[in-house]
Structure 1
């Protein structure tokens, strides 16, 4: 048995009473995965040995003799040691590669390795209810990510005529201060599409980060055909559905039974709907017992009526005019256990319209990808040349879907008007149903390059760091992910004075303007480009370090929130409640 030095544990923030045990302990305490931290609860006594074993998640290999598995070149790992006299038992297993595995834990009270059901205790990943035979591998399969995945296991002993836990057991303290909860989360994602915008970026991050938290995410999305796409951390299940007439990149859920059949098979612990339309009602109508969450990514009234009618009515008047929608949303929200948003601006908007008090899990971004260090004068000159200008001109960058609420034609007109003061190149990245209107506006303006969709996120990060400013036209962004990415890249902002982007703006590194005002946007461009560019960039870099959180922090908060909903350990039918 290797015990991690107490000083190292303290530096890592691991309580001494929650030491990590096993010869692979350093893989968990250092965070250098892939590794799994098995948190054992429900120990009968402190006698004998405890062992945790990792197997391939296949029917033929689960619980197979380790000698045979090694001869066949298949993954297997074991941690075995004398039961400590005190403290929590957290066993670390190094994993050969991220993927799907099954974990078995045995407490041999007499120290004999051969299992004796009359004396020994046993438990499995996912804590299935045990009968008189080993559980099916499908019930104990877990996804292990590239980091350290925490898996709680409660031991079962012979009690009467069945193997079951010793009464109710407490959830073991998390070695890093959080309570472990393994969940299956299913997201009915109506606007997830291969060429989607911010929703796709967000959902892909959620899938990727779920495994490192010990959870699995399944996304149900409408598409052109029925198929399943496996991902590290979960999967995407495409359900055949008709095309959305207004934007052929997207499909729209139609038949509720098709989605319900998938949900019946998946049996989620948390069912999330990420739009307030057909998908949300389908999720609300499923008969399963999952906790339901309505995740609001947008404010439809701010996105459309505020834009259409903003020239004639005040925003509060438009909200009253669309009172029927707020009634609809309140009725829909009542069918869910929680309403969650990604930023304070949208939370205040919804609460102000009487929607059940939303909970906020503030969005974050990939702070490793977006950085001022990605700045490239050569790249800047290359893309300025695409606008027909030299490196002495200013480069404005706009990123987002080509959709009416983004107001890209207005942004183009504003940049074109700013040409009267100095040479300004405008680069637009994105695509969508308004592409024709965007192209038409660009054709009538000088020094605008419409690049279309760029799927290379590394290139996007370099462009953001190399531009002189990010410009945005949408006043209904719920958080402003692209604005956060710009600040993390050290790039100043030109954004509307209302909406999620405005929450990230400050006079030290930004200029704002009245939403929808071409003249206001032009003036904001001129004001920002007249300022000291080095001072602006230094202020933006400082803001990126203090105002922008990493994506992991958002998902920490989100998964903790979902863990509270499902109640800790007792998160699945037939499993132990804490």
Structure 2
């Protein structure tokens, strides 16, 4: 199959959207499919990646939204449609579509190719966090416009599916995320690294790993500052780092890590806390669990599907997250239950491989192609789109 991926974010920028696209490309290469990526260009101080696994990357210009350093935007150009017409894909994969992905949806229609939209970023929630009220009010209308032009929308969690359907988005199906259980596993735990973080060797290590941006809510860890039994570790970088260093003066800030360094950091924690409520999935929770680390997250969005309370972690209400956090940490770090929680965290994700998710995605691609052919007929040399009531009804999948 020939797959054109239009991505709102890609290398050298590292985030959840980029990581998912990379895993999809790796699956497509392994299974012998062909692909092309249309993505924003690098920022001024970054070096662009010319290809990935031999797949061509077509770049469009990048601009930054004021105040939102974590959200670079690809500027749609005629190269989007031109790339599709040249590559002639069987399906267009829209990775977290909003601006560039919106152009990708329209280009797919013009090129007469079915599109599959991957919902991954809560743009409306981010806009609210950044106090961009105009963008927030328009976000759902624009999101609905994009997704309902696609054959299918794939959402990573039950909460995301309900949210999309409540805003009038049709044909929503479940597609989660895999996790590399070889890279992220308890065997990467490093006593040397733990001693670097806590020279006394007596504290429990509680950490956050992710982008340091306002929507992540890392400031909520402030309720743990001053506890002499806890060493906070913050792994990541972003526009909020300096402010967080003031709010969390006793925390260790490692900067951004990747590969084996990241895996050792995860496995060397005693507890992982995710503080943001705008996650449509939250891959960091899965990576922590694969590393044998119990997790705390907000009772909102993707974490609701990933954390089973009392089994591999705890969920906290967003409204009382900060005040409830110290007691939740004490509960999960209790010596009588912590070893079992570590084992159960790992067990929760052992079967969530990226290859299995790739197989499922390929099934959705095939479904989109079949549905497109069923709904688009050629009559006297002109393509006609059948109304939705003529087509076979589809129901949202929960697995």
Report if TM-score (shorter chain) is over 0.5. yes
- Residues 399-548 of structure 1 aligned to structure 2 (within 5 Å): 399-411=209-221, 413-417=222-226, 419=227, 422-442=228-248, 445-446=249-250, 448-454=251-257, 456-506=258-308, 507-515=310-318, 517-532=321-336, 533-545=338-350
Instruction: Give RMSD over aligned pairs.
Output: 2.8
Q: Which residue number in structure 1 is paired with residue 111 of structure 2?
A: 288
Q: Measure how far apart 1:324 and its partner are.
A: 5.3
Spell out, residue by residue over 1:458-511, the C-alpha distance to the aligned partner (whole angstroms, 9 max, x if none): 121122122101111012212221111111111111211222123221212212
Which structure 2 residue ranges, 5 or more long, are not aligned? 374-399
Alignment of 1:70-149 (within 5 A): none
- Note the C-alpha offset of 1:344: 2.5
Matched, 1:378 2:180: no
Q: Can you list the C-alpha shifts for 1:416-469, whole angstroms capped at 9, x where unaligned?
A: 15x0xx421111111223233223323xx32x0111111x32121122122101
Output the CA distance in 2 between the equivalents of 1:308 and 1:527. 35
Partner residue of 1:552?
355
Which among 343, 356, 366 is matched to residue 157 of structure 2?
Answer: 343
Structure 1 position 279, deviation (Å): 1.1
SS in 2 for 1:236: strand
Aligned with 1:209 (options 18, 24, 27): 27
Q: Does 1:267 align with 2:88?
A: yes
Instruction: Say which structure, 1 or 2, has more relative contact order (CA 8 Å, 6+ apart).
Output: 2
Contact in 1 for aligned 2:95/2:101 (Cα 8 Å): yes
Structure 1 unaligned spans of 5+: 1-182, 310-317, 571-578
Residue 306 (structure 1) shift = 7.5
Partner of 1:241: 62
CA distance in 2, matches of 1:350, 1:251: 24
Cα distance change on mapping 1:332 and 1:230 into 2, 3 Å: closer
Question: Matches of 2:49 and 2:230 in 1, distance apart?
Answer: 46
User: Per-residue deviation at 1:215?
Assistant: 1.3
Q: CA deviation at 1:397?
A: 1.8
CA distance 1:250–1:229, shift in 2 (3 Å): farther
Q: Deviations over 1:119-177 (max 9, x none)?
A: xxxxxxxxxxxxxxxxxxxxxxxxxxxxxxxxxxxxxxxxxxxxxxxxxxxxxxxxxxx
Please name the residue that 2:167 is paired with.
353
Distance 2:159 2:75 in 1: 32
CA distance in 2, matches of 1:502, 1:359: 17
Distance in 2 separating the partners of 1:229 and 1:559: 26
My pick for the range that moved more, 276-285 or 390-399, is 276-285
Measured in 2, the distance between the counterparts of 1:265 and 1:284 equals 16
Question: In the TM superposition, what is the alpha-carbon distance from 1:349 to its structure 2 partner?
Answer: 1.8
Instruction: Please give the residue correspondences for 1:188-337 in structure 2 after superposition, counting only pairs within 5 Å.
Output: 188-224=6-42, 229-232=50-53, 234-247=55-68, 251-286=72-107, 287-305=110-128, 325-337=139-151
Sort the Cα spacing of 1:199 and 1:224 in 2 relative to 1 into closer, same or farther, 3 A.
Answer: closer
Distance in 2 (CA, whole Å) between partners of 1:535 and 1:266 is 51
Contact persistence 2:11–2:48 (CA under 8 A): no
8 Å contact kept, 2:4–2:89 = yes
Residues 299, 527 of structure 1: alpha-carbon distance in 2 compared, 3 angstrom cutoff: same
CA shift, 1:512, in A, is 2.4
Q: Structure 1 length normalisation: TM-score?
A: 0.58
- For residues 111 and 20 of structure 2, the distance between their equivalents in structure 1, rounded to whole angstroms, comes to 26
- In 2, Cα distance between the equivalents of 1:276 and 1:255? 12
Q: Distance in 2 between matches of 1:353 and 1:393?
A: 46
Q: Match of 2:207, SS?
A: strand
Q: How far off its partner does 1:401 sit? A: 1.0
Secondary structure of 2:245 counterpart: helix
> Which whole-Å CA distance do the structure 1 matches of 2:141 and 2:35 have between them?
31
Per-residue CA deviation, residues 337-370 of structure 1 (Å, 9 max, x unaligned), is 2111222221122123221131112211112211
Q: Which moved more, 1:325-334 or 1:355-364?
A: 325-334
Contact 2:12 2:48 in 1 (8 A): no
Mean CA deviation greater in 242-251 or 491-500: 242-251
Evaluate the alpha carbon distance shift between residue 441 and residue 392 of structure 1 in structure 2; reply closer, same or farther with a 3 A threshold. Answer: same
Residue of structure 2 in register with 1:364 after alignment: 178
Q: Is the 8 A contact 2:98 2:146 kept in 1?
A: no
User: What TM-score does the superposition give when structure 2 sets the normalisation length?
Assistant: 0.82
Partner SS for 2:184: coil
The CA distance in 2 between the partners of 1:526 and 1:276, in whole Å, is 40
**SS of corresponding position for 1:252:** strand
Higher helix share: 2
